């Protein structure tokens, strides 16, 4: 997902958009889908730096995979190494778009794994018997009905 920032929103409004993205990420995790990448593209480096601080301060940021770039399409390609992951202590420089998926860990991976395990356990607990439960059927728990 891409948010192209033109500077028309105040930074608290921009950071406030993370709540909706966080709800989307949770809904996707509930159906076993990975957290999508959320890219913020800014017109200049000053706006990007200020926005990075505002985004990082939002509590929802930890539940998302965010990268930012100050991108002038006349001078750089969005596919190139222009994206900065929004991770605490990120020491690397900008990365290419094709590397972002590996650079930004999915914060919902443990949640998805736990829910998959819970679904599997629930499915195993409700395995129907290998015979019909209806006593009027020709089979019961003792096996096939005797024939005459």
CA–chain centroid gap for 42, Å, is: 22
Distance, CA of 89 to CA of 71 (rounded, Å): 22
Distance, CA of 134 to CA of 105 (rounded, Å): 50
Q: What is the mean pLDDT of each run of 10 residues along the chain (148 residues)?
A: 93 96 94 95 95 96 96 85 93 93 93 87 74 57 53
| Predicted pLDDT of residue 109 | 92
Beta-strand pair 143-144/2-4? unpaired
| Predicted pLDDT of residue 110 | 92
| Predicted pLDDT of residue 133 | 60
The DSSP annotation for the chain comes to: -EEE--S-S-HHHHHHTHHHHHHHHHHHHHTT-PPPEEEEEESSHHHHHHHHHHHHHSGGGGGSEEEEEE--TTT--TTSS-BEE--TT--S--B-GGGHHHHS--TTHHHHHHHHHHHHHHHHHTPPPSS-S-TTSSEETTEEPP--
| Predicted pLDDT of residue 122 | 81
């Amino acid at each position: 997902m891409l948010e192209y920032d033109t500077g028309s929103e105040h930074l608290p409004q921009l950071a406030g958009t993370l709540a909706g993205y966080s709800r989307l990420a949770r809904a996707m995790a509930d159906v076993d889908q990975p957290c999508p990448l959320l890219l913020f593209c800014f017109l200049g480096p000053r706006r990007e730096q200020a926005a990075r601080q505002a985004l990082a301060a939002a509590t929802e940021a930890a539940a998302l995979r965010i990268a930012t770039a100050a991108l002038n399409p006349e001078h750089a390609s969005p596919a190139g190494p222009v994206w900065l992951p929004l991770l605490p202590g990120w020491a690397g420089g900008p990365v290419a778009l094709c590397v972002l998926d590996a650079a930004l860990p999915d914060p919902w991976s443990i949640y998805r794994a736990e829910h998959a395990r819970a679904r599997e356990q629930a499915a195993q607990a409700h395995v129907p018997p290998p015979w019909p439960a209806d006593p009027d059927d020709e089979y019961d728990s003792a096996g096939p009905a005797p024939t005459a």
